Every structure is written in C-alpha cells, then in structure tokens.
Amino acid sequence: MSGAIKSWQSVQAEVLRRIHSREWKPGAQIPNEADLAAEFGCARATVNRALRNLAEAGLLDRRRKAGTRVALQPVAKAVLDIPVIRLEVEGTGRRYGYRLISASQTPAPPEIAAAMTMAPDAPALHLIALHLADRAPYALEDRWINLGVVPGAAEAPFTEISGNEWLLANAPYTHGEIAFSAVMADPQAIAALACPDPSALFVLDRLTWDQTRVVTKVRITYAPGHAMTTVL
Amino acid sequence: MSGAIKSWQSVQAEVLRRIHSREWKPGAQIPNEADLAAEFGCARATVNRALRNLAEAGLLDRRRKAGTRVALQPVAKAVLDIPVIRLEVEGTGRRYGYRLISASQTPAPPEIAAAMTMAPDAPALHLIALHLADRAPYALEDRWINLGVVPGAAEAPFTEISGNEWLLANAPYTHGEIAFSAVMADPQAIAALACPDPSALFVLDRLTWDQTRVVTKVRITYAPGHAMTTVL
DNA sequence: CGCGTTATTATGTCTGCACATAATAAACTG
DNA sequence: CAGTTTATTATGTGCAGACATAATAACGCG
C-alpha cells in the first residue's frame, strides 16, 4: 500500500479526486462521515473537517440528515485579494510612489452625502491622490472621509501617507461593500493617468462602514490595461 | 452573568468585538489559545476554530510559536460569486434570453492556441453568443472549446443552451483562472450589445483547466453599466 | 386517509487529551 | 563571538466519545 489517508488534507484530496474523476457524479449523494471515516481509517472529525472545507468552497452541498452530495452547479467563488495599493505595486517588484493632488474639507455634495448616508451639511474631507509604480501613474484615488466618524482625519498627514493606509491604522471598521466596473476616462483621469483620450478604465468603488455609519467612500480608477486576476 | 462563551461562534464574536473596539489594536499580540480557552471557559479546540476562521478571513495573523496578532493591514478578501449568466439574470427578476450568433469548428488562431496551450492546428470550436435580459442585450460571450479534451462539444446543442451550462454538466474541470478588466468596445461588441460608439465595457476572461489541459477559454463582455459587487 | 407526533439519522459542535510542527530563544562550542 | 545545536513554546492536527440540531421517515390516531 502507498499511503494511508489520515490527514484532513489527504481526505480532501481523495474526495476531490473522486469528484473530478466522476466516480461521484454531480448531484449524487456520497457516503456519510462515519462510513468514510471507517473506509479511510481515520476519525469522523477528520472527515468532517475535509468535507466542511469542500462545502465552503462550493463543491459539496451538505444538509443535516439529508447527507452530503456533489454540487450540481459549483458556483465559482472568485476570491479577490484587495491589498493596500502600495503593497500591490511592491508585490510586482516595482517602486511605489504617492502624490496628493488635493485635500479639501467641505460638506459633501448631495449625491455623495446620500451614498454615505450622512447629513448633507456634515463635515467631510475630500482627498484626490495619485499612486505611482516606477514613476508611472498607476491609479487615481478619489476619497471622501466622514469627519463625523473619524475626526482625527482632519489633521492626518495625507501628503505623506495614502488615505487607505492611514484609515486602516486609525479608523476601525466592521464591514464594507465593493463594486467593480468599467468607465470612460473623464478629463481629470486622462490628465492624472496620462492616458489617451477615449480610454476604458477599470474602477473599484468601495464603501466602508463602522457599525451603522459610513467611514469612507472611495473610487480607485486604474490606469489603462489593469486587470484583477484570481484562480479558482 | 448574561451568557457564557462556549460556542466557537460566540468566541469569534467576542474576539471580533475586541478587535473592532480596539481593545486589541492592529499589530498587537493577543493571548494564546490556552489562556483564551481558560478565560472563556471552553476547550482550546473551540478557541482554535474561532481564531482559525478569523485568520482565514484575514483579520488575524497566526504563526506557530510566534503567536496570534491582529492583522495590521487586513487584506480585504472580496468573494465574488460567479454564477451561470442565466441564474445571474433570473436572480434580478428579469427574463433570460439566449441567442447563438455563430458556431464554427476551426483550428484556433495562433494567439488563442497559445493561450490555451494547445497545438496550433488542434481542433477547436468557436462560439459567439448573446445573453439577454428582458430582451435587452446583457452580455456577449466569445468562447473557444478544446475539442481534443471535450470531443462531445462538437455535437452539443449550442443553439439552445449556453456553452457555460453545457460544459458544466458535461465536462469535468479541476481549476481555472479569472481576470476582470475594462476594454473599449470593438465593432462587434457595439453591434451585438447595441451600445454607443466609444463605450467602456466590463469584461471577464476565464480559462478553465482539467488537470493539465485547457478545456475552454471564454471572454464575457458585459453591456455598459455592468458592475460586479460584493460585501466584505 | 390526512395529520400531528415520535423515532431515526446525518451533520454540527464541544471536550480533553495527545502528539506533530514550525519558529524562536537559549545554550553551547570551537 | 560567530555559528551551530538544543530547548521551549504556540499553533496545527488527530482521536474517541458525547450531546445538539435539523430534517426526514415512520408511526399512530381520530
């Protein structure tokens, strides 16, 4: 015999093999945890760990009493890591640069205030900054910070550090929303990113909450050609 | 006392509370599992499950011997569910439509064959189809299928069913790559999606593998205004 | 026969214990 | 004192057993 199946990773690998080889077909019910544990010669908890992991990945459907079956339409779950832009740039071996374009403390215009669910005249900080990779424009950041939630931001050194990094270190948050889309480059983006006039740009919009209040709203507009990739 | 902390969910909730309240600051080391288990009055395995979960979510950094600390820059992990387009449309309450524009069995052009790591003269099936939502163009699908891997695709009824759904049911795969980006609409997209001439479109490129061979390569070009969203 | 009640079953989780493993700190040695 | 070896420590994992929970199947009764 080659190797016993005792670790949860090896159980997972064997189950995956049976799914990929269609030994267990989509929609089919697989043996229960106790039987698999007996077959593999390991504890039920070990099988449970493996199957739970695969269920979280969307490859199995599990229900109490009903048992475990191979997912019919494995919903592809693309897990995108969205790091701080500085790390994103440095991760590709390029040198990171940052330049604050403007910072102004004004009440947010109505549509921004509405999106951030704050009073129209509430104090807010508007930052526009450029991120560089090897001195070339990498992404344009347009950020609104809710000063009612993060008053300290008014005195933060945004000429030196990006809004994202300062907020991460200084403002707690509980959850957020992210949206990706494509837009035509507007004049400001064309100027800042030095891109040809009709350009399609990849943008990321993010809204960050602390409990029930919006901390910050940001739009990152990437230079032409940017792509977000992931494996699944 | 109100409630003991015995379930891994409640341990996780309490740890989350301490992180959000900054009782445990970013970068700070937190007590080890044994101590937390003693404090909460539960088993170490329970604490382990909670902390492991939070580490997977990117909120904690854990290293053997070094201990557990609150993540300094929690890498936001955006989990995007990429369903079958039909389900994506029907999920928004609209009626789904599908129209095959062209299907041709030809050797893939060099750049496509290279991307799919197949011989330049290997048989391939090229599908172009349009997905509709309430009769309006929703997304344009441009797909290459490797007939060496999925010979049955040559006879599949792609006038009725989309490549994605047929392949899901009939072709096994082990993993894939996904990339999102923004492109200027080309003449074909402008015609098919009925969009204004200079348009920025959101595109999804996907390469699907079975073990070491590429099953299919597809580009989905979404109609203007499309966004992918997620919470984190 | 229809319907509410009661087993039965598979997964979900907790416990206490043991040992494995990785990473660091301490001890040692030439 | 640099470099290597040896403890020490916190997390990672496995096991056996127990009970909890949800969902289904079987049963019983009017």
pLDDT at B2: 43
pLDDT at B172: 82
pLDDT at B114: 92
d(CA A23, CA A30): 10
pLDDT at A56: 93
Tell if the CB–CB gap between A174 and B73 is shorter than 8 Å.
Answer: no
pLDDT at A94: 95
Tell if the CB–CB gap between A82 and B77 is shorter than 8 Å.
Answer: yes
B chain contacts of residue A20, beta-carbon cutoff 8 Å: 172-174, 210-211
Q: For chain A, list residues with pLDDT below 70.
A: 1-3, 75
Specify which residues B228 forms β-bridges with: A180
- CA quadruple B164, B168, B170, B174: dihedral sign: positive
pLDDT at B5: 76
pLDDT at B3: 55
Window from A172-176, B60-64, B200-204 with minimum mean pLDDT: A172-176
pLDDT at A169: 83
Minimal C-alpha gap between B138 and chain A (Å)? 14
Task: Report if CB A175 to strand C is under 7 Å.
Answer: no
- pLDDT at residue B199 tops 90: yes
Q: What is the pLDDT of residues A18-77, one digit of tens each?
A: 999 999 999 999 999 999 999 999 999 999 999 999 999 999 999 999 999 999 877 678
d(CA A83, CA A89): 10
Report percent pLDDT > 70 for chain B.
Answer: 98
Q: Rounded to 10 degrees, what is the CA torsion of B28, B54, A152, A102?
A: 120
pLDDT at A190: 95
Q: Which of A165, A179, A230 sits opposite B227 (nearest CB)?
A: A179
The answer to whether the CB of B134 falls within 8 A of the CB of B124 is: no
Helix (H) or strand (E) holding B153: none
pLDDT at A133: 95
Classify B8 in phi/psi space as left (phi over 0), alpha (psi -120 to 50) or beta.
Answer: alpha
Q: Give the position of tokens 């402008």.
A: B190
Instruction: Detail the protein residues whose CB sits closer than 7 A to any atom belonging to strand D.
Output: A 6-9, 41-46, 49, 63-66; B 32-34, 44-45, 48, 51-52, 55, 62-68
- CA quadruple B103, B109, B111, B115: dihedral sign: positive
B chain contacts of residue A227, beta-carbon cutoff 8 Å: 179-181, 205
Q: What is the pLDDT of residues B70-100, one digit of tens each?
A: 998 777 788 888 878 998 899 899 999 999 9
pLDDT at A70: 95
In angstroms, how far is CA B61 from the centroid of its own chain? 24
Residue nearest to nucleotide D10 (CA to C1'): B65
Q: What is the pLDDT of residues B102-114, one digit of tens each?
A: 999 999 899 999 9
Which amino acid, residue B95?
R
